[in-house]
Structure 1
Amino acid sequence: MFLNKLYLFFLLFCGAIFSQVDLEKKQDTTNINSNNQLDEVIVTATRTKRQLSSLPMPVTLITKKQIKEIGSVRLRDILLEQTGVTLVRENAGNSEGIQLQGIAADYTLIMIDGVPVVGRTAGNIDLNRITVNNIKQIEIVKGPSSSLYGSEAMGGVINIITERPKNDTFKGQYHVLTRGGSRNELDINSNISYRKSKLGIIGGVNLNSSGGFDLTPQTSPKTVYPHQNYTLNAQVLYDISNSLNFDTSFRYYNQDQFISSGITNSQTDFNSNTKLIHKLSDRWNIDYTFYATRFKTISDFYGNTSLFDRSLFRPEIRSDYSFLNTATLIFGGGVNIDALDRTFIDKGKKFKAWYGFVQLDFNPTEKINIVYGARYEGSDSYQSAFTPKISANYELNDIISVRGSVGYGFKIPDFRQLFFNFRNVNNGYIVLGTHTINDEITNGLDTVVQVERNLKPESSIGYNFGFQIKPVEGLRININAFRNDINDLIDSYDTKLLSRSLEDLSPEVVEVQKELRRRIGISEDRHIRVFTYRNFKETFTQGIEVDINYKINKNLRFLAGYQFLDTGNKVEIDEIKKGVYYKDENGISQKLDPSAYFGLANRSRHMLNAKIFYENFQHKFAVNLRGIYRSEFVPMDSNNNDLIDTYDNFVKPNTQINFAVNKELFGLVNLQFGIDNLFNYDGLNNKELFNFSNPNGGGVVPNESFLQLGRSYYVRTQINI
């Protein structure tokens, strides 16, 4: 599939127009201060501008320069190379999500310029629909961040911050990327930025198409299906007066995907954000914000249409006040109006929630920084949540800083868990949300075991403690230990409402059972399993992360990171102590030793990344080499004892090496050539699907079943005008 020729002509025409404008030298968000120490500014962790080196919580900053150097055009490829960030492919479907510190993708909030991206599939945001076009930097905050950002920030936040027009500038950028090898992709970007006096404008378009490719031919589904998509983005800034600023932006994404003859999928993703910034004084600002977003996907399966239509409207007011030259107070509140129209959810549903938050960022002494925040959220559809957080940073001396944070997080029940109405009677089961089963099935039937109608939000408490060490000039080492305890996890269970034969019941109960069958719509002689949801699971993740950032000299930089991760389900650990049995590969029943317990599915205990960047300013070229390692993991229980142990089938360890070289020509053109998975690591042993070589007796699964592998090369041309 190729891009529409009209789009291509339009972009080429824009490139020709932009070429009449002078090039403005590009700047990176990373600066070197007088002591040659890295001095980076971020906004996500505290919602104020803060130097990365002084923050009391673990944060990763990905600069525009790094994004450009590695040549990525989609968010997933950038995140894949960061410490403590894992991309996990779900066993069901073709969705891929982000883990932070071992916490599942459902609990990681993804934002663009501080506002959330909606539209999850199996709990995951499709990262391929987020282009890196016009990105200034990416900020990753690890650990509970619900005190500022509410639900879905229980595991952390990823905030994509876009460029803003600089004073008195007019510049354009245009680039084309083609990817070959195991992939078949064409990507085109075009941007324009204008700023004059009180008015600023940014506009951009990204076009992406692929003929599709399959890095896992022995499994289904394909890695990427044939598709064509485009993204439009625009921002307008206007200074109404010296004390009043207007800022509005929008983003629109559209994709058409061809899966097979008779199976298609289309997606649209739109969001707009309008903000009025009122500067009451040098110390006091008030922001009035209205955010609206909508994600819609329509799938056609041989004439049967499936709909997912999610929208969110959020008015918010926020104020920040600085005082005593050492403290900043942030406080505010807002309303979430969250709606979903989906196949298998009757009549469309709507959440209404209101929230308030406060945060105090202060320095009691020159060497101590403390950040305390809290948020309260109430709703008409789920129980309220209160989430405080406190963080502190102490500079022992010029070399060592100590930092730590403790915070609560929460995630609200989703529409599916409350309103789902999926019926597969032919296969003997139905799945109902807690509101659906209470309002339509068990209402008024007192002799039936009642299901809790309003689920509690899932909650967590996260601990982070570590050090930042600057032993020599240009070198920064971050060490962080973490622990996350997650409570009231929501999962499905069998209510057993209709699991018994009517002949075994008393006449009174038989009448109730008949009424239940009538309400569900099945005959009296059918046995059917009725599933719904409840709060009951408790899990934990814990480990240690090490990050190294070393500017060896003005030409050479070295980055590396390592994470050790230990996870577990507390209920499963208790069951093992009571005695859990399973059948090994020989069909013999065995009692599981506690040491054989591996933890949660889709988690690797060891992950490592290393990157080296070389830049030659005299000859205007740059080279980088990047490596990623992920140790073995278990995607699912394969020996039917309902937990993950060393006798399950493991995905083998995986190592990928990526390479890129950049060359600047004439001060206007940047050429880039790169290879991903340089040594074509495929994760196979003798090309077998299963190879029972685990020393504990479990099987080893090739990586292609769950990872995107295969060597690919790309060529990228960028014109800066």
Structure 2
Amino acid sequence: MRPANPNDRQEFHMTCFIRRLGATLLLPASFAAIAADSADLGTMTVTASKSERPVAEIAATVTVVDDEEIARTLSESIRDMVRYIPGVTVPFQGQRFGLAGFNIRSLGGNRVQVAVDGVRIPDGFAIGDYSNASRNYIDTDSLKQVEILRGPASSLFGSSALAGVVALTTRDPADWLAETGNDVTVRTRAGYYGADEGWVASGTLAARGERLSGAIQWVERSGNELDNAGETGGTGPTRTKPNPHEYDGRNILAKLLLDEGTDNQWRLTLEHNETDSETDVLTLVRTQDFSAMFGFPYIVETTSLSGDDGTRRRRVSIDYQARQPGWADHFSWQVYYQDALTEQETFESRNTIVYGQPAPVYRFRRAEFEQEIVGTEAIARWVFNTGQVEHDLVGGFEVFETRTEQRRDGFERDLTDGSTSTTVGPDDFPVRDFPNSTTLEAGLYLEDRIAFGERFRLIPGLRVDYYDLDPELDPIFVGDNPGFEPVDIEETSVTPRLGAIYTLTDQLDVFAQYARGFRSPPYNDVNVGFTNLQFGYTAIPNPDLDPEESRGWELGLRGRGGWGHFSLAAYRNDYDDFIESFVSLGVDPETGLLVFQSQNLTDVRIEGIEAAATLNLGSLTPALDDFQLRSSASWSDGENLSGDVPLNSVEPLTGVVGLRWLPTSLPLDIELVATAVAGKDDVADPADFQAPGYVTLDLLAGWQISDASHLHLGLFNLTDREYWSWSTVRGRSASDPGLDRYTQPGFNAGISLTWQI
């Protein structure tokens, strides 16, 4: 029973959290309110402070996933990587468009900054039913480490770090060579994953000389639609089986490193990632009646619809690392270029039936979204004393320019007389939904780690950002938006941060931080533009859009010892001036058109508790020396303050518990993992589907067959539980006949074999 008084909602959720956490995690009483993490507090992180430090020395919550953990958990996608990390999700957008981007503490999309080797991956962009450029440009096989910084982080990372940062680091030649100790190594890997009948094969060659080292890796992937629990076939919205889908992709990573012999190093990186897919979108093969809209008998019968989609990301970067260059304790510099392209083609056959007379037509649509980015960043670190106070100062600057182009094209062919028209529905192709835009961003930042004795560290930080948006009109955009006046934006933002760590004992620290985040008004919201005279609407630019801003408070406790380690954090994030796209302004009396515009409307508050712990069971009794108990949990509550309604993006209470066996006498690593998720009953619209809670069991096993070969096996959803992931099903109507289409895979298995000499 939910509380009748909305003011009691927060207390009600906290009570549920405390009660469910203990039951979910199955930990001893002393750990019932703490939970767990797979990353040791001594694990090094670079993201949280722009310099290498142990996680235990960071005044924020950071999750680190290394390449061993990626291999052990058979993580073949960005979604798999966060499978056992409560509070972090990657929504699945259906078979055609696949994975979206990361969601951290209940916010995602372009409000989370994602970077590979310090280079930001492209924005996501979607419009309509046939155009959706996601942010899934990453192959996990090339990754050395993933760092997830939770909460506002613009004091170091600038715009788009509103909800957090995901930093992915690719492997260097030394990482492959260290596995054998040889100067030349060859590594191959093959794997199969039953959830989508996916195959992966990769090959790597790495070598080193006295000063030069290099590596090249090639990864090939293929697979089909992701399995679900749906049983209804056929076509239309009642279909619950997945739409037929095939994909293939490849990732190429090449690196060349030059060691100058004085702890100075140059590195050249080339990266190419691409994926192609074909989808038979049977759920959109249907009959629609528009008679009420047009005032006369008008029926559209779609007889076939398929999609052919492709993504590509290419990067080249050069970076330099210097230790003790004389004027600083450490210096790094990088320059880079990246180009990313999403192309999506839709093929549709339909009958338009007016007054009972069918007119067969063929429609073709093509959507393109491309981003190019060129930039540079330099970071320096100084360690010095002022009296009895020790300073560890990090400073840097970055400048990058991003060019964004988007275009939709297509035609309609009358299959009766063969005539062709570029007017398809409301669109007169080709069209752009915003003008080609160039943004210039520059940031200057400082963060000082001030140690007052052995116990107390104060960490102030500040960043100043400059943002300039320059739209460019071209004949395509002008033709679709006559009289449109694009808006230039030039602004400066200042984001501070203040953190503190106090060492209570040799094994216990308390930390706290206040941090700010922001996201500059995006090009597609500032200058969104389209006019449709047939249906009587238009969109206009908004020169007065303000940046989205966030303010975050966090308080945490960390402990470590021979028994293991734990962390506990409570946070509250306030977000102001959220930008809502396509807000209706009513009818313009002069033109008679319904006017839409992007505006700052929404204020949001999200608060929660995250916990993580690892307990070495041998500390309780020697009989359990080979066992670990690992668990983690996340609870959050969010509200749209502008409308006083729940925030749909908030994930339900989630807990993960793993019992791991690492026998010292055998080359084995076995873990049984339970994931428990509470039901979602706090939704913005009472008519929305409220996903029930569930528990799943996974079994992970690793076997070091020999010095040269390693086998990983995963058995997922052992009980074949039917369930929905909230990030995938949120916003769906409870009356949607196709709800089972959004269920997750039942029992499935994965296997991976690695061989290296």
CA distance in 2 between counterparts of 1:614 and 1:423 reads 63
Match of 1:377 among 465, 486, 498: 465
CA distance in 1 between counterparts of 2:602 and 2:100 reads 23
Match of 1:326 among 383, 390, 405: 390
Cα offset, 1:96, TM superposition: 2.9
User: Any residues of structure 2 matched to 1:204-603 within 5 Å, and which?
Assistant: 204-215=217-228, 217=230, 222=242, 225-240=245-260, 242=262, 244-260=264-280, 263-279=307-323, 280-281=325-326, 283-302=328-347, 303-324=364-385, 326-343=390-407, 344-345=432-433, 348-381=436-469, 382=489, 383-432=491-540, 434=541, 452-470=542-560, 473-496=562-585, 498-500=587-589, 513=590, 517=591, 527-553=592-618, 555-573=626-644, 599-603=646-650
The one-letter amino acid of 1:137's match is: Q
> Given the superposition, is the C-alpha separation of residues 668 and 463 from structure 1 closer, same or farther in structure 2, using an over 3 Å criterion?
same
The one-letter amino acid of 1:720's match is: Q
Aligned to 2:215: 202
Q: Alpha-carbon deviations, 1:68-94, whole Å to 9, x = none?
A: 211222221011211321333459965
Cα offset, 1:128, TM superposition: 5.0
> Given the superposition, is the C-alpha separation of residues 717 and 347 from structure 1 closer, same or farther in structure 2, using an over 3 Å criterion?
same
> Given the superposition, is the C-alpha separation of residues 720 and 94 from structure 1 closer, same or farther in structure 2, using an over 3 Å criterion?
closer
Cα offset, 1:426, TM superposition: 4.0
Conservation of the 8 A alpha-carbon contact between 1:118 and 1:125: no
Aligned to 1:587: none
CA distance in 1 between counterparts of 2:586 and 2:143 reads 52
CA distance in 1 between counterparts of 2:243 and 2:630 reads 30
Does 2:211 align with 1:175?
no
Cα offset, 1:419, TM superposition: 2.7
> Given the superposition, is the C-alpha separation of residues 483 and 162 from structure 1 closer, same or farther in structure 2, using an over 3 Å criterion?
same
Cα offset, 1:403, TM superposition: 0.2
Conservation of the 8 A alpha-carbon contact between 1:634 and 1:648: no
Aligned to 2:109: 105
CA distance in 2 between counterparts of 1:53 and 1:79 reads 21
Cα offset, 1:657, TM superposition: 1.8
CA distance in 1 between counterparts of 2:583 and 2:670 reads 56
Conservation of the 8 A alpha-carbon contact between 1:463 and 1:484: yes
> Given the superposition, is the C-alpha separation of residues 223 and 418 from structure 1 closer, same or farther in structure 2, using an over 3 Å criterion?
farther
1:326 is paired with a residue of what secondary structure? Answer: strand
CA distance in 1 between counterparts of 2:79 and 2:594 reads 39
Does 2:674 align with 1:627?
yes
Q: Alpha-carbon deviations, 1:444-499, whole Å to 9, x = none?
A: xxxxxxxx4142110000011011133x5232121100000000110135454635
Conservation of the 8 A alpha-carbon contact between 1:294 and 1:311: yes
Between the aligned residues of both structures, percent identity stands at: 17
Conservation of the 8 A alpha-carbon contact between 1:475 and 1:549: yes
The one-letter amino acid of 1:334's match is: E
Cα offset, 1:283, TM superposition: 4.2
Q: Unaligned regions of 5+ residues in structure 2, if any? A: 1-38, 231-237, 281-304, 348-363, 408-431, 470-488, 619-624
Cα offset, 1:113, TM superposition: 2.1
The one-letter amino acid of 1:298's match is: E
Cα offset, 1:630, TM superposition: 2.4
CA distance in 2 between counterparts of 1:401 and 1:703 reads 46
Aligned to 2:359: none
Conservation of the 8 A alpha-carbon contact between 1:650 and 1:700: no
> Given the superposition, is the C-alpha separation of residues 389 and 488 from structure 1 closer, same or farther in structure 2, using an over 3 Å criterion?
same
User: Any residues of structure 2 matched to 1:667-686 within 5 Å, and which?
Assistant: 667-683=707-723
> Given the superposition, is the C-alpha separation of residues 211 and 545 from structure 1 closer, same or farther in structure 2, using an over 3 Å criterion?
closer
CA distance in 2 between counterparts of 1:425 and 1:212 reads 39
Does 2:68 align with 1:71?
no
Q: Alpha-carbon deviations, 1:148-167, whole Å to 9, x = none?
A: 11112111111122233338
Of the structure 1 ranges 394-403 and 221-230, higher mean CA displacement relative to structure 2 is found in 221-230
CA distance in 2 between counterparts of 1:128 and 1:624 reads 29
Aligned to 2:747: 711
The one-letter amino acid of 1:368's match is: F
CA distance in 1 between counterparts of 2:707 and 2:320 reads 38
The one-letter amino acid of 1:678's match is: L
Conservation of the 8 A alpha-carbon contact between 1:283 and 1:323: no
> Given the superposition, is the C-alpha separation of residues 159 and 701 from structure 1 closer, same or farther in structure 2, using an over 3 Å criterion?
farther
Conservation of the 8 A alpha-carbon contact between 2:516 and 2:549: yes
CA distance in 2 between counterparts of 1:670 and 1:703 reads 40
Of the structure 1 ranges 245-254 and 660-669, higher mean CA displacement relative to structure 2 is found in 660-669
Match of 1:661 among 701, 707, 714: 701
Of the structure 1 ranges 555-564 and 276-285, higher mean CA displacement relative to structure 2 is found in 276-285
> Given the superposition, is the C-alpha separation of residues 65 and 490 from structure 1 closer, same or farther in structure 2, using an over 3 Å criterion?
same
Cα offset, 1:347, TM superposition: 5.3
> Given the superposition, is the C-alpha separation of residues 203 and 474 from structure 1 closer, same or farther in structure 2, using an over 3 Å criterion?
farther
Give the count of matched residue pairs. 602
Aligned to 1:605: 652
Cα offset, 1:198, TM superposition: 1.3
> Given the superposition, is the C-alpha separation of residues 278 and 711 from structure 1 closer, same or farther in structure 2, using an over 3 Å criterion?
same
> Given the superposition, is the C-alpha separation of residues 399 and 243 from structure 1 closer, same or farther in structure 2, using an over 3 Å criterion?
closer
The one-letter amino acid of 2:63's match is: T
CA distance in 2 between counterparts of 1:178 and 1:125 reads 27
The one-letter amino acid of 1:340's match is: T
CA distance in 1 between counterparts of 2:269 and 2:199 reads 27
2:68 is paired with a residue of what secondary structure? Answer: helix
1:650 is paired with a residue of what secondary structure? Answer: coil
CA distance in 2 between counterparts of 1:235 and 1:453 reads 44
Q: Alpha-carbon deviations, 1:270-319, whole Å to 9, x = none?
A: 12221123452284333332122111011112332211111111122322
CA distance in 2 between counterparts of 1:149 and 1:493 reads 29
1:226 is paired with a residue of what secondary structure? Answer: strand
Q: Alpha-carbon deviations, 1:422-456, whole Å to 9, x = none?
A: 44544443444x2xxxxxxxxxxxxxxxxx41421
1:683 is paired with a residue of what secondary structure? Answer: coil
> Given the superposition, is the C-alpha separation of residues 205 and 127 from structure 1 closer, same or farther in structure 2, using an over 3 Å criterion?
farther
Conservation of the 8 A alpha-carbon contact between 1:42 and 1:51: yes
User: Any residues of structure 2 matched to 1:18-97 within 5 Å, and which?
Assistant: 39-89=42-92, 95-97=99-101
CA distance in 2 between counterparts of 1:368 and 1:720 reads 46
Does 2:738 align with 1:720?
no
The one-letter amino acid of 2:271's match is: R
User: Any residues of structure 2 matched to 1:119-138 within 5 Å, and which?
Assistant: 119-122=123-126, 126=134, 129-138=137-146
CA distance in 1 between counterparts of 2:227 and 2:40 reads 44
Conservation of the 8 A alpha-carbon contact between 1:94 and 1:221: no
CA distance in 1 between counterparts of 2:136 and 2:704 reads 28
Cα offset, 1:221, TM superposition: 9.5
CA distance in 1 between counterparts of 2:101 and 2:367 reads 22
Q: TM-score scaled to structure 2, two decimals? A: 0.74
Cα offset, 1:207, TM superposition: 0.6
Cα offset, 1:125, TM superposition: 8.1
> Given the superposition, is the C-alpha separation of residues 701 and 151 from structure 1 closer, same or farther in structure 2, using an over 3 Å criterion?
farther
